Chain A
Amino acid sequence: GNSVTQMEGPVTLSEEAFLTINCTYTATGYPSLFWYVQYPGEGLQLLLKATKADDKGSNKGFEATYRKETTSFHLEKGSVQVSDSAVYFCALSRWSGGYQKVTFGIGTKLQVIP
């Protein structure tokens, strides 16, 4: 079956540090890939996505590139801010049995300290 692997964290960084959150996946075919972010006390919201190999998704200074050869979709940001503290979920989506089957990773908690 499909699966998404990411570290649980927490990842603690100082403000302006470089961020990488690794995400690897297992799936048949070519899924769409997503990063969602969950701020404290809120639901998940889309951060970025990529729908085919070598696509780069980007938003709010975050980037991730769909790497088919390494089945990865690592999230990066050059300079994190305290406001980026949240839980980040990697997810893949495949059409399966008549519906959009979305498989989420366990979420990585990011703490940014001033």
Chain B
Amino acid sequence: NAGVTQTPKFQVLKTGQSMTLQCAQDMNHEYMSWYRQDPGMGLRLIHYSVGAGITDQGEVPNGYNVSRSTTEDFPLRLLSAAPSQTSVYFCASSYGAGESYEQYFGPGTRLTVT
């Protein structure tokens, strides 16, 4: 059981470039989400999905796109990278969307935009 996996672990982009952060889980979880972690700000929700084919915006969605074609995969796309998107990105999944469910996090992707 690999849990939640993310690739790449590190990435450097130039301003204006696009890229996709990959996320996969093998726990058959319906609920998946993307967060960004910035110093002094905790984690903030970017996008989430309650099942294949269903996605919606979180707190800070601007500049990011998501899709969910399978239960397992939930990629995050940066459309045109900006320095303000320099951050650590975490993908998470949970068994359900109820508020008592714990979230399982991937190891993170550290992104630097120059």
Do residues B97 and A89 form an inter-chain contact, with CB atoms below 8 A? no
Do residues B42 and A100 form an inter-chain contact, with CB atoms below 8 A? no
A43 within 8 A of B: yes
Do residues B90 and A34 form an inter-chain contact, with CB atoms below 8 A? no
Do residues A34 and B102 form an inter-chain contact, with CB atoms below 8 A? yes
| Chain A residues with CB under 8 A of B100 | 32, 49, 51, 93
Do residues B42 and A89 form an inter-chain contact, with CB atoms below 8 A? yes
| Chain A residues with CB under 8 A of B42 | 4, 89, 104-107
B75 within 8 A of A: no
Do residues B105 and A99 form an inter-chain contact, with CB atoms below 8 A? no
| Chain A residues with CB under 8 A of B107 | 41-43
Contact A101 to B45, CB < 8 A, known contacts A32-B100, A51-B100: yes
| Chain A residues with CB under 8 A of B108 | 42-43
| Chain A residues with CB under 8 A of B45 | 101-102
> In the assembly, what is the distance between CA of A34 and CA of B101, in Å?
10
Task: List residues 67-112 of chain A with CB under 8 A from any CB of chain B.
Answer: 89, 93-95, 98-102, 104-107
| Chain A residues with CB under 8 A of B105 | 36, 43-45
Contact A99 to B98, CB < 8 A, known contacts A43-B4, A43-B90: no
Chain A residues within 8 Å of chain B by Cβ, number: 27
| Chain B residues with CB under 8 A of A34 | 102
B71 within 8 A of A: no
> In the assembly, what is the distance between CA of A106 and CA of B101, in Å?
21
Contact A8 to B106, CB < 8 A, known contacts A32-B100, A94-B99, A99-B56: no
> In the assembly, what is the distance between CA of A95 and CA of B50, in Å?
13
> In the assembly, what is the distance between CA of A42 and CA of B107, in Å?
5
| Chain A residues with CB under 8 A of B104 | 45-46
Q: Whole-angstrom distance from the CB of B27 to the nearest CB of chain A?
A: 14
Question: Residues on A close to B: CB < 8 A?
Answer: 4, 8, 31-32, 34, 36, 41-46, 49, 51, 89, 93-95, 98-102, 104-107
Pairs A-B, 5 closest by C-beta atoms: A43-B105, A104-B42, A93-B99, A46-B102, A104-B43
